[in-house]
Chains A and B, each alone.
Chain A
Amino acid sequence: EPEVTQTPSHQVTQMGQEVILRCVPISNHLYFYWYRQILGQKVEFLVSFYNNEISEKSEIFDDQFSVERPDGSNFTLKIRSTKLEDSAMYFCASSDRGAYEQYFGPGTRLTVT
């Protein structure tokens, strides 16, 4: 069964450093998403991506964040200068149609120290 994969599973970084979180969506999907979940809290939308551009982004997704689909398989989230409050689980998701069910990867736990 196709699945979304994410690497690394856990990333520890120092405040101010840049991190890149990587995702490989399900191969025939066209819509890609990043969400985050601070420990013990709800899942929050960050950004959606379709047809090689951002469809929508939340208030959380400020200038420190960027997304890219550098090739036909990877989808990345970059945080330019990490802050302590960026510590969270980051989930990538993909869907074959907008507004339909999204399939999530296992997540990357980001710890900023």
Chain B
Amino acid sequence: AQKVTQAQTEISVVEKEDVTLDCVYETRDTTYYLFWYKQPPSGELVFLIRRNSFDEQNEISGRYSWNFQKSTSSFNFTITASQVVDSAVYFCALSEGGNQGGKLIFGQGTELSVKP
């Protein structure tokens, strides 16, 4: 069975702090894809990153970085030097490669609040 767990429901930090959002996934497929989406207060879902199961290389994009570890089935997201504009709900999601339709299975989301 496929499942995504984001154990942190809410995180509150002060601007310029670093923050890590945890994501643990379960799947029986050997080929799968992991995603992070951002949902700001305005409500839209914004794609941030996709990672393929066969590529464990970590990725950095500006203040954002992602750590993918197959050994622990985790795909964590770190924001360095957080800013107020980072305040949002962040969703981790999984898509199984054998599923040609590509449905996304979302975690419960982590609400990040960055205070000035």
A-to-B contact residues, CB < 8 Å: 31, 33, 35, 41-45, 48, 50, 55-56, 58, 89, 91, 93, 95, 97-107
Query: B13 an interface residue at 8 Å Cβ cutoff?
Result: no
Taking a contact as CB atoms under 8 Å apart, the answer to whether A100 and B43 are in contact is no
Taking a contact as CB atoms under 8 Å apart, the answer to whether B106 and A44 are in contact is yes
Query: B55 an interface residue at 8 Å Cβ cutoff?
Result: no
Taking a contact as CB atoms under 8 Å apart, the answer to whether B102 and A100 are in contact is yes
CB neighbours (8 Å) of B103 from chain A are 33, 45, 48, 56, 58
CB neighbours (8 Å) of B33 from chain A are 99-100
Chain A residues touching B, majority SS = strand
Given contacts A35-B104, A95-B102, contact A102 B109 (CB under 8 A): no
> Which residue of A has the minimal Cβ distance to B6?
A42
Taking a contact as CB atoms under 8 Å apart, the answer to whether B47 and A99 are in contact is no
State the CA gap A43–B6 with chains docked (Å).
Answer: 13
> Which residue of B has the minimal Cβ distance to A99?
B102
Contact with A along B85-116 (1 / 0, CB 8 A): 00000010101110111111111110000000
Taking a contact as CB atoms under 8 Å apart, the answer to whether B43 and A89 are in contact is yes
Taking a contact as CB atoms under 8 Å apart, the answer to whether B45 and A48 are in contact is no
State the CA gap A110–B8 with chains docked (Å).
Answer: 28
Taking a contact as CB atoms under 8 Å apart, the answer to whether B47 and A55 are in contact is no
Taking a contact as CB atoms under 8 Å apart, the answer to whether A102 and B99 are in contact is no
